[in-house]
């Protein structure tokens, strides 16, 4: 009997000592659950309080000039995406289904113009988004006829047959007009940041003005004014802006091939004007320029149309302004400018 009482007493004592930690654990669990609920509620409240205007605008751009102009105007207030993959030739690009989905989910689409992106109208017909604002960066800019250049007598000949030249960005004044159109689109889509965009646009247009002055000062006293290009007719606006005489191997797409007669004309022009250099363009195998160079001794020089850039150039942070700087150096060398 005594042993049973002792065991019972020990059991009651043991129950008392093990009961206390159990209650503590229950209390601790209750406190943890309460803390978690409070954290979730606070998180939800914080999410609800985030203003919609603070969410970054999603912008899709088509060609590199439009992409670079837009990121300079938008700054850190928008996410800017270049639809054209690095290294892809712009004239042969056709959007894929994934590109359509990206456009459909964006808030703003900015393109160069329907003559540069002939696929744009069909793409927009298939877009089902009430949220998307579409901006034509060429609006208000007068397009020149494509393929007007010098013949071997120094007169003008026309190969464009009424078609317009879409390479508007290579005239800096046109580039400034494109920036204005981009600014208007960003401001309409995101009016809360209008002043920010306006300030950035004015600063960037000033930089474009500086490069324009540099071109004028440099190219005004060159020994040579004739500029021969073994590629497609892309630099007509640049030549017109700086009073240069420009001759290209062919008009239209870079995939086209010049006629034997045209190649003969290029060689004759080089000889007639005692031109020592022939230019080739970016992302295109310079077959024509190489043939002419081999047969005439003219030295190859690169000139960048800025339609698109390679992956390596993109990774290095190339800009439209740096492309224009390099082009000026190339023209300065090829035209014999002091």
pLDDT digit string (tens) for 72-99?
A: 999 999 999 999 999 999 988 999 999 9
Model-level pTM greater than 0.85?
A: no
- Supply the pLDDT for residue 35: 40
pLDDT, one tens digit per residue, over 7-57 is 444 444 444 444 445 444 434 443 443 344 333 333 333 334 344 444 899
Query: Which residues touch 143 (CB under 8 Å, ≥6 apart)?
Result: 113, 115, 164, 165, 166, 168
Domains of the chain, CATH where assigned = 56-144+163-212 (3.40.50.1980), 220-334 (3.40.50.1980)
Q: Whole-angstrom Cα distance, residue 36 to residue 313?
A: 49
Per-residue b or e along 285-317, where b marks 16 or more CB atoms closer than 10 Å to that residue's CB: ebebbebbbeebebeebebbbbbbbeeebbeee
- CB pairs under 8 A, 24+ apart, for 52-55? 53/190, 53/192, 53/193
Q: Whole-angstrom Cα distance, residue 243 to residue 219?
A: 9
Check residue 88 and give left, alpha or beta (phi > 0: left; psi -120 to 50: alpha): beta
Question: In this structure, are residues 180 and 201 in contact, taking their beta carbons and an 8 Å threshold?
Answer: yes
pLDDT, one tens digit per residue, over 159-189 is 333 389 999 999 999 999 999 999 999 999 9
Pairing of strands 133-136, 299-302: unpaired
In this prediction, residues 152-158 reach a mean pLDDT of: 38
pLDDT bin (cut points 50, 70, 90) of residue 152 is very low
pLDDT, one tens digit per residue, over 271-301 is 999 999 999 999 888 999 999 999 999 999 9
- Return the percentage of the chain with pLDDT > 90, whole number: 71
Lowest mean pLDDT among 52-56, 140-144, 202-206, 322-326: 52-56
- Supply the pLDDT for residue 251: 79
- Supply the pLDDT for residue 53: 42
Query: Which residues touch 67 (CB under 8 Å, ≥6 apart)?
Result: 61, 80, 81, 82
Question: In this structure, are residues 240 and 262 in contact, taking their beta carbons and an 8 Å threshold?
Answer: no
Phi and psi of 277, rounded to 5°? -135, 150
Residue 231 has pLDDT above 80, yes or no: yes
């Amino acid at each position: 009997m005594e042993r049973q009482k002792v065991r019972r007493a020990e059991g009651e004592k043991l129950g008392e000592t093990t009961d206390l930690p159990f209650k503590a654990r229950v209390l601790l669990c209750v406190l943890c659950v309460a803390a978690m609920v409070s954290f979730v509620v606070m998180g939800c409240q914080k999410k609800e309080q985030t203003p919609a205007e603070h969410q970054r605008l999603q912008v899709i751009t088509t060609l590199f000039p439009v992409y670079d102009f837009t990121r300079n105007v938008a700054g850190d207030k928008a996410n800017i995406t270049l639809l054209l993959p690095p290294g892809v030739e712009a004239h042969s690009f056709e959007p894929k289904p994934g590109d359509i989905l990206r456009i459909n989910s964006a808030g703003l689409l900015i393109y160069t113009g329907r003559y540069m992106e002939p696929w744009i109208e069909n793409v927009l017909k298939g877009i089902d988004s009430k949220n998307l604002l579409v901006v034509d960066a060429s609006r208000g800019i007068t397009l020149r006829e494509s393929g007007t250049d010098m013949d071997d007598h120094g007169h003008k000949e026309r190969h464009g047959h009424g078609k317009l030249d879409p390479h508007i960005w290579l005239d800096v004044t046109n580039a400034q007009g494109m920036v204005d159109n981009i600014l208007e689109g960003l401001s309409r889509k995101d009016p809360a940041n209008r002043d920010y965009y306006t300030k950035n646009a004015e600063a960037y247009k000033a930089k474009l003005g500086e490069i324009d002055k540099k071109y004028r000062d440099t190219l005004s006293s060159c020994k040579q004014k004739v500029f021969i290009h073994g590629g497609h007719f892309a630099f007509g606006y640049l030549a017109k802006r700086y009073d240069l005489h420009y001759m290209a191997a062919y008009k239209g797409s870079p995939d086209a091939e010049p006629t034997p007669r045209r190649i003969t004309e290029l060689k004759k022009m080089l000889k007639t004007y005692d031109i020592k250099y022939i230019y080739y363009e970016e992302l295109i195998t310079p077959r024509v320029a190489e043939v002419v160079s081999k047969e005439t001794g003219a030295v190859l020089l690169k000139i960048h149309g800025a339609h698109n850039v390679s992956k390596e150039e993109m990774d290095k942070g190339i800009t439209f302004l740096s492309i224009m700087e390099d082009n000026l150096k190339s023209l300065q060398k090829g035209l014999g400018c002091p």
